[in-house]
Amino acid sequence: MSEPQKRWVENSIMRLALFSTELTLGKSGYHAVVHVSGLDRLLDSPPPGNTKLETPGEDFSALLSSVLNMYGEVTTRGIFRRWGATFGEAAVRRRPSALLLKPMLALLPLQRRVRAVLDALVNEADVTRGEMLHTLTDNPDQYLLSFRDCLYCAGMHPAEPICFTVVGTLEAVLKWGTGRDFAVREVRCSARGDGQCVFEIDKQPLHV
C-alpha cells in the first residue's frame, strides 16, 4: 500500500497564522496554543515569509485544531475569520499577480470584477497547494467555491462548518477587488463528513 502524499503549506501562510494567533490571543495564549499543537520549535524559529512550500500541512492543521480544542467553536469562528482577513490582506499586498490584476479590475463592471477575483483566487490556491483542488461554479444567485483536501479543518470534528479562515479570506479579497462587501457562507464542510468544503458567495453585494 502506497504512503499518503505529503501535504505542504506556503511558509508565509504558516508565519501569518502564528502572527495572527499571537495578535488575537496575546503572548500567553499564543505560547499555550503552540505548545498544545506540538510546535514549540516554531516559537524561536518561525517559517520565513516566502512562498516556498516547505511547511508541513500537518503543522498548519495542528495549530488550527488546537485553537478549536482550547477555545470552543463559537470563539474559534471569530478567531479564524480574523485570521482569514489577515491572510487575504497580506496576499493582495505581496502577490505580483494581485498587483497586475488590480488596474484591470477597475475597467470591469461589478459582476465581472467578482468573477475575475474569484477565478484568480482559485488559480493562486491551486498553485499554492501544487494540485487542482479548488472548483468555482455558479447558479443564478451565488458563486460556489469547492475545496478538496482542505487543511483549514483537517483533523477537526465540529458541530457546524468551521472553515471561517477561508470565509475571512474571501471577504477580504472581494472587498479589495471590488470595493464592496459580499456575504460568504460555508454550506458544506469536510470536517462534518461532507467530502469537501463548499462556500456560497452571493452575487449581489451587501447594502445594494
Distance CA 51, CA 3 (A): 26
Per-residue tens of pLDDT for the chain, all 208 residues: 444 567 888 898 899 999 989 988 999 999 999 999 999 999 999 999 888 889 999 999 999 999 999 999 999 999 999 999 988 888 888 776 777 788 888 889 999 999 999 999 898 888 877 778 899 999 999 999 999 999 999 999 999 999 999 999 999 999 999 999 999 999 999 999 998 999 999 999 997 5
Where are the extended beta strands (E) located within the chain?
8-10, 53-56, 134-138, 142-147, 184-188, 197-202
Provide the pLDDT for residue 208: 58
Work out the number of other CB atoms within 10 angstroms of the CB of residue 145. 23
Read off φ and ψ for residue 201, nearest 5 degrees.
-120, 115
Q: For residue 140, which of 188, 203, 79 has the smallest C-alpha distance?
A: 203
Distance CA 68, CA 89 (A): 23
Provide the pLDDT for residue 61: 95
How many angstroms separate the Cα of 73 from the Cα of each of 141, 147, 159? 29, 21, 8
Place of cell 462534518: 192
Domains along the chain?
Answer: 8-202 (3.90.1520.10)
Number of H helices, E strands in the chain: 6, 6
Provide the pLDDT for residue 104: 86
The model's pTM is: 0.90
Provide the pLDDT for residue 67: 96
